[in-house]
């Protein structure tokens, strides 16, 4: 893995039941690269949570992945409503997900906290009315 590998995924915001396709494909790509299974697990859960967030709140978005010798970087970008209070959004149990999403077992207010839990670095940049970019890094060494 001397050169950086880049992957790009479009996350469809229309179909909630198929949400997770990008993460599942990402997981398969990482397996083929021979990345440590526990690192793959952490990275793909973090990416799935991000993907779900984009589907719930932002009508979808894009996921870009860069894999270098040192780390996996996942950048999730959407043109959704933005996050007014990031500190609050990071609290476990805080959720603004609608009821129909909760009935599917999401919206427990654990998405962003899980993304932080499973990654080594996480940065959220958000502007209300413009969109949100979440950058996550998982170290390979």
Partner 1 sequence: MTVAEFAEKYSLEVLSMPDPSREIKGGYMGDLLSWVMGRAKADQAWITIMSNQNIIAVASLIDVACIILAEDVRLDESIVENAKAKGVNVLAAKSPAFEVACEICHEIK
Q: Does 18 interact with partner 1 (rule: CB under 8 A)?
A: yes
Going by C-alpha positions, the residue among 112, 122, 13, 17 that lies closest to residue 75 is: 122
Query: Which lies closer to partner 1 via its Cβ, residue 79 or residue 116?
Result: 116
Pairing of strands 121-127, 60-67: unpaired
Give me the 103-122 binding string for partner 1, x by CB under 8 A, dash otherwise: -xxx-xxxx-xx--x-----
Please say whether the beta carbons of 67 and 41 come within 8 A: no
25 binds partner 1 (CB under 8 A): no
Question: Residue from 9, 30, 48, 78 that binds partner 1 (CB under 8 A)?
Answer: 48
Interstrand relation of 131-139 and 60-67 (parallel, antiparallel or unpaired): unpaired
Q: Looking at the chain, which runs of residues are DSSP E strands?
A: 5-12, 60-67, 71-78, 121-127, 131-139
Considering the rule CB under 8 A, would residue 128 count as an interface residue with partner 1?
Answer: no
Residue ranges in contact with partner 1 by CB under 8 A? 16-21, 23-24, 27, 37-38, 41, 44-45, 48-49, 52, 104-106, 108-111, 113-114, 117
């Amino acid at each position: 893995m001397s050169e950086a590998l880049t992957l790009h995924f479009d996350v469809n915001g229309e179909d909630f039941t198929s949400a997770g396709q990008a993460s599942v494909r990402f997981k398969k790509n990482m397996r083929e690269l021979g990345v440590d299974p526990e690192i793959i697990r952490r990275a793909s859960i973090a990416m799935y949570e991000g993907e779900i967030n984009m589907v719930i709140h932002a009508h979808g978005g894009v996921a870009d992945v860069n894999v270098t010798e040192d780390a996996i970087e996942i950048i999730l970008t959407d043109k959704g409503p933005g996050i007014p209070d990031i500190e609050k959004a990071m609290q476990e149990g805080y959720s603004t997900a609608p009821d129909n999403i909760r009935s599917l077992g999401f919206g427990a207010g654990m998405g962003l906290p899980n993304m932080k839990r499973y990654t080594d670095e996480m940065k959220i940049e958000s502007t209300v009315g413009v969109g949100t970019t979440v950058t996550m890094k998982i170290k390979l060494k």
